[in-house]
Amino acid sequence: MSGGFFGFNSAFPERRNDSSSQSKPPFPGFQADHVDQAFGIGQGAEEDVAVYTWGQGLDDALRDAHDDFNHETFGVDPRGLGTDFQFAAPKQTAAPSKTSGKPRGPIASTQSRYKPKPVADPFAMSEDDFYSSRVTKSVPKKPVDTKAKPSKLSSAAGGSLWNKPNVAPSQLWGTQPTSVARPEAVAPPGQVAPQTFQRPVGHIKTLEEIEAEMAGIDLEPLTHQPQLPQQPRILSLEEIEREMMTTTPIPPMSQPPPPLPPQPILPPPSLPVQSLLSPPSRPDSTPTVPLPGSGYASGHALLDSIFPQLGATPRPDLPPAHLGPASEPPLPPQPSPEELARLDALRKRVAAKIESMSRYNHTMGSSDKDYITRMQLSQLVTDDPYTSDFYAQVFSAIKRSRLAAEQADEKTAVVQIAPGAALSVSAPTESRFGKMGSKTMQRLSTQVKRLVDSRAAHKKTMDSGRFDGYVFEGRLIFLATLKGALGRVSRSGIAAPRPVLAVPVGSKPEHRPTSALNQTSGVHRPALTRKQVMYALEEMYDLVLELEQLRRTQPSPESDEMKAWDEECQLKVEEIWRRLMVMEPLDVSTPHPFIALLNAVKGQRLMPRVLRHLPHSQALTLLTLLIATYPQLDVIAHAPPPPVADASLLNKMDRVERARREAETDCFLQCVVPGMDMLISTCNLGLVAGLLNICTQKMPNLKQVASTRPGVALFTALLSRAQSLIRVPPADPNNPQPIPGPDPAEVDHWQRTFAYFLHLILPHLPELFPASVAQKAAFGPGAYLLGGEGVGEKESLEMERREAEVWGLAAALAVNAPEEEQTNLVAALRDKILHTVQGARNPVTPPFKAEMRLRNVNMFLHGLGLDASMIE
Amino acid sequence: MEQVAAGTISEPLDLVKLSLGERVFIKLRGDRTLTGNLHAYDAHMNLVLSQVEENIHIVDVGEDGTAAPPRIERRGFEMLFIRGDSVILVSPLLE
C-alpha cells in the first residue's frame, strides 16, 4: 500500500495481543509442553497440524545439531528456539515418557523439510542440497544453539517462544497515528513554557527524532526476546536506506560453469564417515519404486545396500512398548498408567497417520523437486531486486541491523544471477542462502540463469509467432514454467490462448489529452474531484518511490555517472514539484489543488517524504502557500466538533464521522505539522512576520482557524520562532563575538504584525480552549458530566492535553506581547485562569489532573512572570 | 492542475488503485461483506486489508424448514489477506 508504509501506520498488528497468543500457541504440536493438547482426543482440529511431528519416532536420528533450519521451517529465529519440541532430545524432561521406547517409524519424505538429509548426498544438484550441504559446517559454528537452550527453555518457554516473532513486526512501522499523535503532538508543557522557549529555536524535531520518540512511546509496554541485547526500535527512513545500501550483492559470476552432466550415482569418498556420524534419517521400510531419473530413489537404494543394517529398521506398527526401555538411559520418574495409555494411543494415531501419508512417499524424485525449485526461484528473478522486492529489502534491512550487534556476518540481500537479473533474499544472516556454500550458490545461479535465459528466448519466439511448443517434449515442459507459478499473470499462447487480465507492466505512457480546461479563459476552475485527487496522489507516490529508489542507487561521488545521476534526481524533483501544483495561482480553485492533495490522508502521509527532497526555496514556497490556504484544509474547515459528555447522545453515523475527523486531524498533526515546524524554524524574522501577516490577511475567520489543533500548532510555531529570534541569546563566554541581533526594521515589522494579530485573536481567546467549548456545547445532563468525574479518565486526560496546546499558544502570545497588552491578555483569560486554578485546587479533582491543570496555567502565567500560587 | 484534471483511468484496476490506503467495502462469496483499509491488491484481486470488520449474513433455518429472519454476525480483524477468488465487489466507502 502506498500510503501507510512510510506514514508509519501500517502496523502489523496481527498479533499484537500478547495475551491471546500466549494462550494459544500457533503450533501447539511442536512443543512438548503442549503436546497433550495437540494430540489430545477431541482436538480434531489440531490433528492435521500434528502430522508435522513426524520426527517423533526417531529417537536417535533427530539430533540437536539439526536445529539449524528450524527458523526456516517455523519462521522463528532459531536462537530463541529451544529444542524442547524435539522429543528425542536427551535431557528433555517436559515429556519424559515420549522418549521411552519409541519405534522408528517410517519417515515420510517431507521430513527433509524439518531435518536435513545426511550430509553426503551425492546428488548435490537437488533441492535438498540447499538444506543439507552445509550442515556439518554449521554445527560447530553455533554450539550455543544446541547446548545452551534446553535447560533455559525447557518448560517455561511454552508461550513465549512462539510469541517472539510477534513482537518485532508490530513495532517496525510504528503504530496508528491516533496512538502516537497525541503524546507527540502535544509538547510536554514544560517544554513550551516560556523559560524553555529554546526548544523550537534551533531544534524543532526532525523526522528522525520524532520517530525515535515514537519508538520510545510505543516500545515501552512491549517485552522483547531476552536473547537480543538491544531493544528493537523503529528505524528511520534514512537508517533503513543506509542499511539497505550496505548490503553487498554477490558479484555476478564471471564464468558460469558449464551445465553439469547427469550425476553419476556414486557416493563421494567421504560418505561412509559422514553417514556414520549421522545415521540416515529415513530408514525406509516401504519399498519405493525407483523412478527413472529420480536421483533420490536410486541413491537411497544405494545407501541401503551399503549400510544394510541401517535399512533394517523395525516396522513402525510394532507396539512401542516392545522397544526401547532397556536401552534407554536412566529415566525420570515414571508417568502414571493413564498417561502412558494416553501417550500410547497418541503414538498409535501418529503412526497410523504416518502410515497413511507414506503412501505418497517418493512420488517426487529429486529431479522433480529440483525442477520445481528452479521454476520457483526463476519467478523471483527480477532485473531490479531492490525495487521489486522493496518491502522485503526494508524488512531484511531492519532485521539485519538488529542482528548486527551479535553477528557481523556477511550481508547478502541480493543474489545476483546475471547482470541485470537478481533475486533478493530476505532473511539476512541466517538465511538458507547464507548457509549454502558459494559453490552451491553458484550452481543455483547458473541453473536459474539458464532458465531465465531460455524463457526470454522462448518469449521471443512466441512473440514472433514461430512457436513450436508441442513438437519437442522439452518445450512442452517449458510451457509449464511460463504459467505463473507464483501468481504472476503471464500471457501464453497455446495453453491459454485468450490473454488473461491484460495488466500493462512497466512504464505506461502518459496519455493525457489536452484538457478542455485549457480552453477556459477564466482563472478560476472547478475544484479537483476526489477521483482526480486520488489519481494525482497515486502518481505522486510512484514518483516519490522512484526518486527514493534513485537516491539509494547513488554512484560514488568521483565517478562519471554522478553527474547523470544528479541530473536525473533533479528531473524527478522538478516533476514532483510540478505535480504538487504549488505554483498554481492562489485562487485557482477552492480548495487550492495543493490543499486538495493535502486533504486526503494519503497526501498528508506523503508530505514528509516529499519535503525531504525539495530544495529549501521550494519548501518555503510550499509553506507560504500552505499557510495562505490554511482555512481551506479539511482539518480546519471541518474540524472535529467538541466532544460531548455522553457518547450515547450520538448516533452511529455521528460517531463514525467524528472518529474520521479526529483521525484526519491526528494524521495532519503527525505528518504535516512537524515538517511545517521544521520549515518555520529556518525562517528569519522578516519571513516569520510575513507569514503571520498572511495569516491575518488571508484568514478571514482567524478564530475558526485558531480553534482547531492544526491552527493552534501553526500560530504557536510562528510566535515562538519569532520570540526566539528576537531574544538575543546571552553572550557566550567561549565565543566572544557578539551574536548579531535581529534587524530593527524586521523587529518593527514583526511587532506591528503581531499587534494586529493579537488584536484579532484576543477577543476569541477564551473560546479557543476545548474544555470551554465543550462545556458550552454541552446541554442537559451532559453539562454536569463534563469536567466532572463521570467522564472516562482517558477522555479527560486527552482533554487536558488539548487544553495544554491552547495554553501553549496563550503563553506564546504572552511572551511576545508588550507590557500593556499583557494586561489585556490576562484580563481576557481571567475567568479561564481562575476557573482552571480553582478546578485544580478542588479536592475532588484527582491529583494527576490537578497537576496538569496547574502546569497548563503556569505555562501561560510564567510567560508574564506570574505563578498560579499567587492566585487566591 | 490541468494535468491532474485530465488524469485518466486506463483500466479497471486503476480504480482500485485510487482506493489504496482508503477504507473500502468488499463483498465476498459466502454472504460476507468486509470494510477495511486497503493496503494492497493484485491482478487476482487478492487484497490486504487492515482494521477489518467482517459481516456474515446468516439465515437460520429451523427444524420445520422455516427461515428465521436474517441475522448478521460481526467479526473484527486487525490485518487480513483475502484471496482474490472470493471477491465479488470492491468499492470505496464514501461517507
Residues of A in contact with B81 (CB under 8 A): none
pLDDT digits (tens, 9 = 90+) for A61-104: 445 555 666 565 655 554 554 545 544 444 444 444 444 444 44
pLDDT digits (tens, 9 = 90+) for A165-178: 444 444 444 444 44
Residues of A in contact with B45 (CB under 8 A): none
The minimal CB distance from A4 to the residues B10, B19, B39 is found for B39
Restricting to A residues 540-579, those with a Cβ less than 8 Å away from any Cβ of B are 578-579
pLDDT at A191 over 60: no
More confident residue, B51 or A423: B51
pLDDT digits (tens, 9 = 90+) for A394-429: 888 888 887 775 654 444 455 555 555 566 554 443
More confident residue, A273 or A391: A391
More confident residue, A733 or A684: A684
DSSP labels for A259-322?
Answer: PPPPPP----TTHHHHHHHS--S----S--PPPTT-HHHHHHHHHHHH-HHHH-PPPTTS-GGG
B5–chain A Cβ distance below 8 A for any pair: yes
CA distance A171 to chain B (A): 15
The minimal CB distance from A588 to the residues B1, B10, B18 is found for B1
Average pLDDT over residues B73-94: 92
- Cβ–Cβ pairs < 8 A, chains A and B: 102
A29–chain B Cβ distance below 8 A for any pair: no
Q: Identify the pLDDT of residue A731.
A: 54
Q: How far apart are CA B84 and CA B95, in angstroms?
A: 26
pLDDT at A826 over 60: yes
B83–chain A Cβ distance below 8 A for any pair: no
Q: Do A514 and B6 touch (CB under 8 A)?
A: yes
Q: CA of A763: how far to CAs of A698, A766, A825, A860, in Å?
A: 19, 8, 9, 17
A18–chain B Cβ distance below 8 A for any pair: no
B12–chain A Cβ distance below 8 A for any pair: no
In SS3 terms, A504-572 reads as: CCCCCCCCCCCCHHHHCCCCCCCCCCHHHHHHHHHHHHHHHHHHHHHHHCCCCCCCCHHHHHHHHHHHH
More confident residue, A246 or A636: A636
With b for 16 or more beta-carbon neighbours within 10 A and e for fewer, the A117-152 pattern comes to: bbbbbbbbbbbbbbbbbbbbebbeebeebbeebbee
Is B2-92 a CATH 3.30.540.10 domain? no
pLDDT at B44 over 70: yes
Close Cβ partners of A649 (under 8 Å, ≥ 6 residues apart): A782
Q: Identify the pLDDT of residue B57.
A: 93
Distance of CA A366 to the CA centre of its chain: 37
Q: Identify the pLDDT of residue A855.
A: 86
pLDDT digits (tens, 9 = 90+) for A349-376: 999 999 988 888 888 888 888 888 888 8
Q: Identify the pLDDT of residue A270.
A: 43
pLDDT at A807 over 70: yes
Close Cβ partners of A729 (under 8 Å, ≥ 6 residues apart): A739
A1–chain B Cβ distance below 8 A for any pair: yes
Site from A510, A512, A589, A664 to mutate, B interface, most B CB atoms within 10 angstroms: A512
Q: How far apart are CA A182 and CA A170, in angstroms?
A: 19
Average pLDDT over residues A272-290: 43
Q: Do B8 and A589 touch (CB under 8 A)?
A: no
pLDDT at A202 over 80: no
User: One-letter amino acid identity for B26?
Assistant: I
Q: Do A1 and B79 touch (CB under 8 A)?
A: no
B67–chain A Cβ distance below 8 A for any pair: no
Q: Do A513 and B50 touch (CB under 8 A)?
A: no
Question: B69 is written with which cell numbers?
Answer: 429472519
Handedness of CA A712, A714, A716, A719 (dihedral sign): negative
Q: Give the Cα-Cα-Cα angle A289, A293, A295 (nearest 5 degrees).
A: 80
CA distance B45 to chain A (A): 11
Q: Identify the pLDDT of residue A506.
A: 47
More confident residue, A58 or A445: A445
pLDDT at A377 over 70: yes
Q: Identify the pLDDT of residue A637.
A: 86
Lowest mean pLDDT among A253-257, A325-329, A611-615, B44-48: A253-257
Q: Do B79 and A605 touch (CB under 8 A)?
A: no
Q: Do A1 and B10 touch (CB under 8 A)?
A: no
Average pLDDT over residues A761-769: 86
pLDDT band at residue A510 under the 50/70/90 scheme: very low
A523–chain B Cβ distance below 8 A for any pair: no
Residue in A767, A645, A780 with CA at minimum distance from that of residue A706:
A767
Q: Do B13 and A503 touch (CB under 8 A)?
A: yes
Q: How far apart are CA A790 and CA A793, in angstroms?
A: 9
Domain ranges of chain A: 2-257, 366-486, 528-613, 648-729+741-872
Q: CA of A153: how far to CAs of A19, A97, A157, A165, A330, in Å?
A: 19, 19, 5, 16, 22
Q: How far apart are CA A784 and CA A778, in angstroms?
A: 9
Site from A175, A391, A491, A515 to mutate, B interface, most B CB atoms within 10 angstroms: A515
Residue A800's CB is within 10 A of a number of other CB atoms, namely: 22
Nearest CA in chain A to B5: A532
CA distance A4 to chain B (A): 7
pLDDT at A711 over 70: yes
Q: Do A512 and B48 touch (CB under 8 A)?
A: no
More confident residue, A470 or A617: A617
Restricting to A residues 471-500, those with a Cβ less than 8 Å away from any Cβ of B are 487, 489
Q: Is the pTM of this model over 0.95?
A: no
Q: Identify the pLDDT of residue A332.
A: 59
A605–chain B Cβ distance below 8 A for any pair: yes
pLDDT at A345 over 90: yes
Q: How far apart are CA A811 and CA A817, in angstroms?
A: 10
A581–chain B Cβ distance below 8 A for any pair: yes
More confident residue, A207 or A389: A389
ipTM of model: 0.83
Residue in A590, A617, A584, A604 with CA at minimum distance from that of residue A541:
A604
More confident residue, A814 or A783: A814
Close Cβ partners of A156 (under 8 Å, ≥ 6 residues apart): none
pLDDT band at residue A124 under the 50/70/90 scheme: very low
Domain ranges of chain B: 2-92
Lowest mean pLDDT among A107-121, A761-775, A808-822: A107-121
